[in-house]
Amino acid sequence: MNTVMMRYKILITALLLIAFTGCEKDFDKINRNPNAATEAATSALLTQAIRDFAFADFDVWYAGRQSSLASQHFAQRNYTSEDRYAFRTGVTDGFFRNNFIYMNNLQTIIRLNTDPETKDSYASLYGDNNMQIAIAEIVKAWVFQLLTDYFGDIPYSQALDIETYPQPVYDTQKAVYDGLIAKLNEAQTKLENSTTDGFATGDVFFGGDLSKWIKLANSLRLRLALRASNADPTYLTEAQDAIADGVMESNDDNAMFRFSASGTPNEAPWYNGFYVNGRNDFSFTAGFMELIKGNNNQAFVNPFLGLRDPRYPIFTSFTTDKLGVPYGMTEVLTQKWWSTNSANRVSLYHRNPLILQANFPTTFLDYPTVCFMISEVEGWDATWFEEGINASLEHWAILANAGDLDEGGAYVTEVMNRFNAATDEQKKEMVITQKYIHLLMQPHEAWAEYRRTGYPKSLVKPGDVTAIIDGAEVVFTPSTGAESGADVVARFKYPTSEFTLNKANVEAAAARMGEDSHKQRVWWDGGGLQ
């Protein structure tokens, strides 16, 4: 797939209209005029859309200062307001608005392939109309799930048609999920009946392999249905159907955007954030570090106690034990801890680990995650759990160009010995905790899985002791007070701009859900307040 990426390097450079510079993004400017792309090749529109999501949704702002903190893979070491739930409204506004803007390229692909004036004379030059529509719908499904999992009810049925619906209604999360599952089923059928191969150029996921797009569609259906089953167990039937229809079968099926080198637009988002824009604010949390070192931490009892994770040196670039930053401290205490532990802390900026490399890929969905989901659907199945761990070790070894991370199989063997002797609830904890470890750099999913399951238990909640400094307990106290709730942030608040641009509909959505706060649970998380 690296050769596929190189093929589009010049194309992406020509298309890119976004510059991420300075300390903050320019949240007040729309990045591009969606109407300007209507004459572009549909293959180029696909490339640009995927690249936009791969960079912006996983950078040090939209991911780093939102779900990377909410999932507690990372903590900030300079400015800790977001760690304590005081999220920047400009970041949240930009995340919401720009994801809809980026989807315009996908909607243009669909329009060009359905409009009688363009579908035969123009769009068909790039392949079967239904094939192109299906692929655009699959990518849109990924984005809409991201948005609804962040906010709850969102514009969906009237979205992306600003001329007809300048103020779109907000659909319930259940309606969005049902709509996405239906679209993915339709996409599968369209691809199976396509009269042509996939995109000859522009497909930066799979290089035109429609069989892999079908697997991605079904794997997304599985993820949607499994998450929805938390609210309604009947969705498990849809999850089982998705598995039967054919999901990802190996790491070769992973949906990834592979950045190629330093220099905009070919560099990975965290490389850009750390080394181009100097945003070296982040370090691994104490909870995550102790989890992968095989240690307990504060009140957390590690289900893999005594087992050092083989991915530890890949994640951190260290082979010796290092300390992560206790999550949720004030800036004063965090900076005191940072200076006091200068010899033992994990400092990513100076080590340049794999996850900060210029060519580190963005993963949208992958085979190890699918394995863990199948294990859950099949009642915490041991075979699929073991396959998920092995697939994750293989995935990270491939990214790092390393050999077998668990040579001799000692780690996996011991994990499985414990799993086979565990209760069902303990098995659930082990599967979700292994998924959480694997999902490093996929923070949106790690955060969603915690909200859905309550695992791993390594995450710090408001009121928990997060550290002991100078012999005194430091309690995690959100800076936003009681509005934050009693657990990890349950959702992000609606953008402030929506209360100006689409006031009636966003207020109706907030009232329908309960309230617009960080403690308001989304539908699949049970609704209601923490």
Instruction: Supply the pLDDT for residue 412.
Output: 98
Say whether pLDDT at 382 is over 50: yes
Give the C-alpha separation, 339 to 308, whole Å. Answer: 26
| CA distances, 457 to each of 71, 252, 374, 454, 461 (Å) | 12, 32, 22, 7, 10
pLDDT in tens, 313-364: 999 999 999 999 999 999 999 999 999 998 888 878 667 799 999 999 999 9
- Non-local (6+) Cβ contacts of 110 within 8 A are 132, 133, 136, 137
| CA distances, 45 to each of 9, 129, 135, 146, 318 (Å) | 14, 15, 12, 20, 40
pLDDT band for position 247 (50/70/90)? very high
- Non-local (6+) Cβ contacts of 42 within 8 A are 108, 109, 112, 113, 123, 126, 132, 199, 202
Give the C-alpha separation, 154 to 284, whole Å. Answer: 32
Q: How far is CA 242 from the centre of its chain?
A: 21
- Please tell me the chain's helix, strand, coil percentages from 3-state DSSP, rounded to the nearest 5: 50, 5, 40
Average the pLDDT over each of 28-37, 69-78, 175-184, 481-490 and give the range with the smallest value: 28-37
Domains of the chain: 2-257 (1.25.40.390), 283-453 (no CATH)
* pTM recorded for the entire structure: 0.92
The sign of the dihedral angle between the CA atoms of 352, 357, 361, 362 is positive
- Closest Cα to residue 142, out of 269, 265, 53, 15? 53
Query: In terms of C-beta distances under 8 Å and separation of at least 24 residues, what long-range contacts does 107-113 make, across chains too?
Result: 107/34, 107/136, 107/140, 107/160, 107/161, 108/34, 108/37, 108/38, 108/40, 108/42, 108/45, 109/42, 109/45, 109/46, 109/133, 109/135, 109/136, 110/136, 110/137, 111/38, 112/38, 112/42, 113/42
Give the C-alpha separation, 68 to 83, whole Å. Answer: 10
Instruction: Supply the pLDDT for residue 32.
Output: 40
DSSP code of 101? Answer: H
Question: Whole-number mean pLDDT of the chain?
Answer: 91
pLDDT in tens, 473-504: 999 999 877 678 899 999 999 999 999 999 99
Would you list the DSSP string of 310-342?
TTHHHHHS-SS--BPBPTT--HHHHHHHHHHTT
Instruction: Supply the pLDDT for residue 349.
Output: 67
Say whether pLDDT at 471 is over 90: yes
pLDDT band for position 529 (50/70/90)? confident
Instruction: Supply the pLDDT for residue 17.
Output: 34
Q: Report the pLDDT averaged over residues 206-218.
A: 98
Instruction: Supply the pLDDT for residue 156.
Output: 99
Say whether pLDDT at 27 is over 90: no
Say whether pLDDT at 505 is over 70: yes
Say whether pLDDT at 20 is over 90: no
Q: Report the pLDDT averaged over residues 215-226.
A: 99
Give the C-alpha separation, 427 to 422, whole Å. Answer: 6
Q: What percentage of the chain exceeds 70 in pLDDT?
A: 92
Instruction: Supply the pLDDT for residue 39.
Output: 64
Instruction: Supply the pLDDT for residue 64.
Output: 94
pLDDT in tens, 264-311: 789 999 999 999 998 888 999 999 999 999 999 988 999 999 999 999
pLDDT band for position 24 (50/70/90)? very low
